[in-house]
Each structure stands twice: as structure tokens, then as C-alpha cells.
Structure 1
């Protein structure tokens, strides 16, 4: 029999990380201690919960059933705790947002700062990854994405549209036609590390060749500050005053940001209030930043 919730917390961490080493930092334990806790839990339930191999820990059939029940218990506990952290008072506790690094670098910091100014007891973590954040594995409480996921346990709401244009240094030779790009170094994503089809921009200009590449938007912006031509989010241009948009009448991209949440978290007033403030703040900030670029050219 499982003795307490902490046993299930250890079990879920190992199940999500598929191993002891990945679970240890989350649990703030060393891997050996985590291993002993798993062994103790398996002894308590009287059957293996994991199949151990050099590749990691895979759940047994019993382990999968136990994971589902433990996840339901975790969600119920989180909702109960939220009753004491939401309500009509200011938001408190910790909330983690997963996000593509472009949004994480150029939009979320100022939006989150405004929310925290009104809710000083709130701790917000921004998880910026060059991949889709795994909400099913509870890597974050909610995520900003550029494509709506299809997972049934998630809810998806559009936040705002945003624009991208080609940009280069203002002091670089002018570009008047797409054909001029053949003489320039193209900056963009590492082709085989594009994790979402909405980030595959180069087909828009008829090229697949990237002279300077990174899986990070922030690094791409820094590359452009040192030469070359590439797509930049309009909302990021305020951070690189050396850059100017080019060929705006010939190439203009529009994408959409979505807020993705666990379906069960819709019952949490605290998370719902934060999600509403986050969406409204992001929409307003993207609009403000894009309008500033339109004024400067």
C-alpha cells in the first residue's frame, strides 16, 4: 500500500523523466535516494512499476495505470491548494510558462513584470526551449505555442497574431528585389532542428540555404546585427536598433500565438485569472511593439 503522497510524487517524477537522473533535480534528491524510494514503493505495492534498462525507466502496465491515477490525484491536490492562492486576493504561488524563445526573450518579461507588480506574492518562471514544451509531462503549467496541439487533455486559445519581415543592418547595401538575396548571407533556423512547421520561413523566399543558423531566435537577431539577411519578428526589432525591415511590400509573414493549458486546470481560478492576464498582456504588448516598428520603418 502507498504510504503517503510523497511516494506518489517521487513515482510521478521518475515516470515523467523516464529515469532517476532526470527526476532527481525535480525532487531535489540525489539519484541513489530516488532509486531507493522507487524500490520501497514497488515493495509496498507488491509488483514492479518500471522496467529498468540502460536506456531508462519504462512503465509497466501496472505503472501506467498507477500513473494515470496519481496524475488525477495530483490535479485534485493542485486545485485544492489553488483555493488558498486565488480567490479575490492577489495571485500567489508559483506558475511556470513554457514558450518559444522569441516570445520568451522579447515579450514575456515585460508582460510578466506588469502582472507581478499587481500580484507581489506571485512567482513566475519562464521556460524557454527550442522545442514544444511537454505539458503532459508537467514541464510547465501552461505554454505559449505557434501551432495548436491536438492532445485531448489540453485546451487551446488564440492569444494574438504577430508579423515577421526580412531585416538587415540599416547600413547594409539596400535590397530592392527578392533576387538580391542570392548575393547575401541568409540567417535562419538550423534546418533539421525546426520543431514546428510554422517556423519554416525560408520557403517564402525560395531558398533552403542558410549561411548562419541557430535554433534560437535571440541568437539569430544577434547574427543579423553582424551582417546578413533573415526573418525577424516585428516585436523583436526594438531590441536591435541597428536592423531595418526590407522588402516589406514583397514578403510579409503572419503567424498566431496560442495559449495551451491542461484541461483540468480550467477549474483553477488562480491559473485562469493568470492566463487571462497573460493573454491580454501579450496581445497588448505585441500590438504596441509592432506599432512602434511601423512608425520607424
Structure 2
């Protein structure tokens, strides 16, 4: 396969249809159809499943995709090296749980775009594990380190969590002096059968009972706690933006977890490599900044309450 064939392949894979790919490639759909058919004959296998809804990659197409993207990235890096321009160009999809996606990644990704205006960034914020083998994302942030699949995994940073509740809820409820007191309180947490990562099963660790109010989303849980729904576990990096919350049993309960960054072993090249470094550095710095802010904010709120 030559680069022009792979350029056609990438255009159709990203566009999802001949009509969409034709816009970027500046070729008519009939020409693209012939080129794809010729490419599949040369490869000896079907690369796309064709249907009235468009073109979807087959298993062979998914296997070819990272190699084609690698050639594209290397070609762009060569042009950049000749011109002395080290700005990143291309598009990267990042998958992340909704907690970090809502409270940490906006600042990180905006900074990356400011430094590299031609870098497109897609943030998929879903409370589940991403399938990197099927290219649901180029980079994925997880809590537990994935162990299955052909993945490259690196530890990003630790982060802290606290038990917290709204100040009005605590003022109207019985005191919480020990973990045993939690049995008399409303609990907010994850829907038990929708916990997608064992490291997110906090309530047993803190000694709380089953949640009366539950969600599969960390951001929704924060909203429920802020609305006075009860006591729940909150990321410390969220507390900086929630001055109405109070830590519960702060001297007794200290939860720590870690974020990990994963990518498929075939997802390489200068673009992904550099983007992964920028993302890792940005996440570490932003988590540290927000956690530092959360403690003084809470202490000031306590003094004023």
C-alpha cells in the first residue's frame, strides 16, 4: 500500500461515509468507492462494512487504522521538522470518567489548544471503560490500571477523596463523630450494579450503608450532595468549586486513588506521543492546583459558618 491509498482509507474511516470523506479529500464519491474497492483487493480482505448508513471499519480495518495514522503522523512530523514548526496538528480523541472530565480536563485541554491551535481534541466523558482496541479513543484515562489487551499504561498521579455533605444537611442532622454514626444518615453514591471500576466502590471502605440516592455519574453525585441529599464521597479536586460542602470525619477518612493513562500499543507516532506527554503534565498540575485550593476554601468556609 502506498501513502495515497492510506490517505483515502483514513478519510473514509474518519468520515464514516463516502459523501463525508469526499469533502475533505476533494474527490467525488464514485472515485472514492473505486479506490476503496481497489485497496481491499490489494489487501486481500474487506476493510469496511458498507450499509445505507455508511462505511464502518471491519476487524481488518481496525487493525490497519493505527498503522495508517502512524504514517500520517510521521509525514506531518517530517514537514514540521523541515519548516522548524513544532506545533501539533491532527485530531485526538480522549476518553475519561466524568469526574475528571468535568473538573480537571477542561483547563488542561484548553491550554493544549491554546499552545497548538491546529490540534483538535475530542473529549468523551462517560462513566465506563473505553475499548482502545476498537479505537473508541486514542488515549483513555482510567482509575484502575487496565490489564487486558495490548495497551501501554502509565500512572498519571494520585488524587484524594473525602466524605462530604452540605452544611445545611449537617446542621439539621444528628452529629457524625465516628463512622458508626453514618448508619443514621442518608447516603449518596454510585448505583451498585453500575460501578464500572472496583476502585470506585467507596462506601464499603468508609463504612457507609447502601445509597438512598445513587447515580452512575460522579458529577451527578456531587449535585445530589450539594442539594442536601446526604453524605457521600467527593473528589477533593471538586471541593474547590463547592464551598457549601463540609468534609465529614476529615481526621479519620482519607481515601486515595490514582489516574492512569492508556493507549493501544499500535497507537504511536509523534502526534500521540507528544499529546500524551502534554496531557499527563497538565493533569498532574491541575489536580495538584485544585486540591491545594480545596483545603483553604473549606477551612475558610468553616470559619465563616
TM bucket (normalised to shorter chain) is 0.7 to 0.9
Q: 2: CA distance between counterparts of 1:99 and 1:134?
A: 12
Q: 2: CA distance between counterparts of 1:64 and 1:92?
A: 27
Length-normalised TM-score, structure 1:
0.77
SS in 1 for 2:210: coil
For residues 47-74 of structure 1, give each alpha carbon's deviation from its aligned partner in whole angstroms, at most 9, with x where no partner exists: 878999xxxxx99xxx655653455344
- Could you say which residue in structure 1 is the equivalent of 2:108? 111
Matched, 1:153 2:150: yes
SS in 2 for 1:163: strand
SS in 2 for 1:136: helix
Change (3 A) 1:85 1:198: farther
Change (3 A) 1:28 1:267: closer
Q: 2: CA distance between counterparts of 1:187 and 1:118?
A: 40
Q: 1:68 aligns with which of 48, 63, 67?
A: 63
Alignment of 1:185-264 (within 5 A): 185-227=186-228, 228-264=230-266
Structure 1 runs (4+) deviating above 6 angstroms are 10-13, 46-52
Q: Which sections of structure 2, spanning at least 5 residues, go unmatched? A: 23-28, 51-55, 300-305
Q: 2: CA distance between counterparts of 1:69 and 1:237?
A: 44
Q: How many residues align?
A: 276
Change (3 A) 1:142 1:238: same
| Alpha-carbon distance, 1:211 to partner | 0.5
| Alpha-carbon distance, 1:4 to partner | 4.7
Change (3 A) 1:79 1:164: same
Length-normalised TM-score, structure 2:
0.75
Contact 1:224–1:230 under 8 Å retained in 2: yes
Q: 1: CA distance between counterparts of 2:244 and 2:21?
A: 44
SS in 2 for 1:288: helix
